[in-house]
Amino acid sequence: MDASRALDFRMDIIELISKVQEFPDAEIDDPSRVYQSSNKYFADGPRLHEFLRGMRKEVVDKYGTITVGEMPYVYGEDQIPRVVHLETGSPNTIFTFEHTEVDSIPGESEWSLHKWKIQEVKRITNRLQRLMIEKDDWSSTSCETTITSSRSQKYEAFDFIAV
Protein backbone atom coordinates (compact mmCIF):
# COMPACT_ATOMS: atom_id res chain seq x y z
CA MET A 1 0.00 0.00 0.00
CA ASP A 2 1.19 3.49 -0.80
CA ALA A 3 0.60 5.17 2.57
CA SER A 4 1.05 8.63 1.05
CA ARG A 5 -2.32 8.12 -0.69
CA ALA A 6 -4.17 6.78 2.38
CA LEU A 7 -6.89 8.73 4.11
CA ASP A 8 -6.90 6.70 7.27
CA PHE A 9 -5.42 3.74 9.05
CA ARG A 10 -7.70 1.32 10.87
CA MET A 11 -5.97 -0.43 13.73
CA ASP A 12 -7.96 -3.59 14.50
CA ILE A 13 -7.94 -4.73 18.14
CA ILE A 14 -5.00 -2.42 18.71
CA GLU A 15 -5.19 -2.59 22.50
CA LEU A 16 -3.87 -6.17 22.32
CA ILE A 17 -0.34 -5.19 21.25
CA SER A 18 0.94 -5.04 24.83
CA LYS A 19 0.46 -7.87 27.29
CA VAL A 20 1.50 -8.57 30.87
CA GLN A 21 4.76 -10.41 30.21
CA GLU A 22 4.47 -12.91 33.07
CA PHE A 23 1.50 -14.48 31.18
CA PRO A 24 -0.41 -15.41 34.35
CA ASP A 25 -3.48 -17.61 34.40
CA ALA A 26 -6.78 -15.86 34.96
CA GLU A 27 -8.22 -15.86 38.45
CA ILE A 28 -11.23 -18.10 38.95
CA ASP A 29 -14.07 -15.63 39.42
CA ASP A 30 -16.86 -18.13 38.78
CA PRO A 31 -16.04 -21.82 39.34
CA SER A 32 -19.16 -22.84 37.41
CA ARG A 33 -17.74 -21.42 34.16
CA VAL A 34 -15.17 -23.27 32.08
CA TYR A 35 -13.51 -20.04 30.91
CA GLN A 36 -12.62 -17.11 33.12
CA SER A 37 -12.03 -13.48 32.18
CA SER A 38 -8.37 -12.77 31.49
CA ASN A 39 -8.52 -9.56 29.47
CA LYS A 40 -6.76 -7.59 32.20
CA TYR A 41 -3.62 -9.54 31.20
CA PHE A 42 -3.82 -9.21 27.42
CA ALA A 43 -5.66 -5.92 26.75
CA ASP A 44 -4.54 -2.34 27.52
CA GLY A 45 -1.19 -3.72 28.66
CA PRO A 46 1.67 -1.92 30.39
CA ARG A 47 3.37 -0.71 27.18
CA LEU A 48 0.26 0.04 25.08
CA HIS A 49 0.64 3.82 25.19
CA GLU A 50 4.37 3.63 24.50
CA PHE A 51 3.66 1.53 21.39
CA LEU A 52 0.81 3.80 20.25
CA ARG A 53 2.96 6.92 20.60
CA GLY A 54 5.73 5.19 18.68
CA MET A 55 3.38 4.31 15.81
CA ARG A 56 2.13 7.88 15.71
CA LYS A 57 5.65 9.32 15.62
CA GLU A 58 7.24 6.82 13.24
CA VAL A 59 4.35 6.22 10.80
CA VAL A 60 1.08 8.06 11.20
CA ASP A 61 2.31 11.65 11.62
CA LYS A 62 4.43 11.35 8.48
CA TYR A 63 1.33 11.03 6.30
CA GLY A 64 -1.25 13.25 8.02
CA THR A 65 -3.83 10.49 8.09
CA ILE A 66 -6.70 9.85 10.46
CA THR A 67 -6.41 6.74 12.60
CA VAL A 68 -9.23 4.64 14.00
CA GLY A 69 -8.50 2.16 16.77
CA GLU A 70 -10.79 -0.81 17.26
CA MET A 71 -10.74 -1.40 21.02
CA PRO A 72 -13.26 -3.90 22.37
CA TYR A 73 -11.70 -4.08 25.84
CA VAL A 74 -11.38 -0.34 26.46
CA TYR A 75 -14.40 0.70 28.52
CA GLY A 76 -13.34 2.76 31.47
CA GLU A 77 -13.82 6.48 31.54
CA ASP A 78 -10.15 6.72 32.51
CA GLN A 79 -9.00 4.41 29.69
CA ILE A 80 -10.66 6.05 26.68
CA PRO A 81 -9.19 9.57 27.10
CA ARG A 82 -5.69 8.11 27.59
CA VAL A 83 -6.00 6.31 24.26
CA VAL A 84 -7.55 8.97 22.02
CA HIS A 85 -6.56 12.30 23.54
CA LEU A 86 -4.93 14.57 20.96
CA GLU A 87 -1.86 15.17 23.12
CA THR A 88 -1.18 11.62 24.29
CA GLY A 89 -3.04 9.08 22.17
CA SER A 90 -2.24 7.47 18.86
CA PRO A 91 -5.63 6.79 17.28
CA ASN A 92 -7.59 9.94 16.48
CA THR A 93 -10.74 8.04 17.36
CA ILE A 94 -11.72 4.59 18.56
CA PHE A 95 -14.58 2.19 18.02
CA THR A 96 -16.05 1.32 21.40
CA PHE A 97 -18.04 -1.87 21.91
CA GLU A 98 -19.83 -1.60 25.23
CA HIS A 99 -23.15 -1.10 23.45
CA THR A 100 -22.71 -4.29 21.39
CA GLU A 101 -22.73 -6.38 24.55
CA VAL A 102 -25.97 -4.99 25.97
CA ASP A 103 -27.79 -8.16 24.90
CA SER A 104 -25.26 -10.56 26.45
CA ILE A 105 -25.39 -11.91 29.98
CA PRO A 106 -22.74 -9.99 31.99
CA GLY A 107 -19.65 -12.13 32.44
CA GLU A 108 -20.77 -14.67 29.84
CA SER A 109 -20.00 -15.20 26.17
CA GLU A 110 -21.15 -12.64 23.60
CA TRP A 111 -23.39 -15.44 22.31
CA SER A 112 -25.32 -15.54 25.59
CA LEU A 113 -28.60 -13.69 25.56
CA HIS A 114 -30.81 -11.76 27.89
CA LYS A 115 -33.64 -9.34 27.32
CA TRP A 116 -32.68 -5.71 27.04
CA LYS A 117 -34.21 -2.33 26.33
CA ILE A 118 -33.09 0.17 23.74
CA GLN A 119 -32.73 2.72 26.55
CA GLU A 120 -29.65 0.79 27.69
CA VAL A 121 -27.93 1.48 24.35
CA LYS A 122 -28.99 5.13 24.58
CA ARG A 123 -27.56 5.39 28.12
CA ILE A 124 -24.21 3.90 27.07
CA THR A 125 -23.98 6.08 23.94
CA ASN A 126 -24.88 9.25 25.84
CA ARG A 127 -22.33 8.51 28.56
CA LEU A 128 -19.52 7.94 26.04
CA GLN A 129 -20.42 10.96 23.90
CA ARG A 130 -20.55 13.23 26.96
CA LEU A 131 -17.18 11.89 28.08
CA MET A 132 -15.70 12.74 24.69
CA ILE A 133 -17.10 16.29 24.81
CA GLU A 134 -15.82 16.83 28.37
CA LYS A 135 -12.34 15.51 27.54
CA ASP A 136 -12.14 17.15 24.09
CA ASP A 137 -11.70 13.72 22.50
CA TRP A 138 -13.37 11.89 19.65
CA SER A 139 -14.98 8.45 19.58
CA SER A 140 -16.97 6.50 17.01
CA THR A 141 -19.84 4.09 17.30
CA SER A 142 -19.92 0.91 15.29
CA CYS A 143 -22.60 -1.74 15.52
CA GLU A 144 -20.63 -4.60 13.97
CA THR A 145 -17.09 -5.37 12.98
CA THR A 146 -15.19 -8.49 12.09
CA ILE A 147 -14.50 -9.22 15.76
CA THR A 148 -18.06 -8.99 17.08
CA SER A 149 -20.61 -11.68 16.51
CA SER A 150 -23.06 -10.85 13.78
CA ARG A 151 -26.25 -9.60 15.39
CA SER A 152 -28.38 -11.14 12.66
CA GLN A 153 -26.70 -14.52 13.11
CA LYS A 154 -27.02 -14.29 16.86
CA TYR A 155 -30.72 -13.51 16.85
CA GLU A 156 -31.45 -15.96 14.06
CA ALA A 157 -29.79 -18.73 16.06
CA PHE A 158 -31.78 -17.97 19.21
CA ASP A 159 -35.03 -16.62 17.75
CA PHE A 160 -34.71 -13.77 20.27
CA ILE A 161 -36.31 -10.32 20.13
CA ALA A 162 -35.40 -7.28 22.22
CA VAL A 163 -38.24 -5.67 24.14
Q: Which residues are marked as active site?
A: 12, 70
Within 21-155, strands assigned E span: 66-70, 93-96, 139-141
Are 143 and 151 in contact by the 8 Å Cβ rule? The answer is yes
Cα-Cα-Cα-Cα torsion 99, 50, 136, 68, nearest 10 degrees, comes to: -50
Angle, CA of 27, 29 and 33, to the nearest 5° = 105
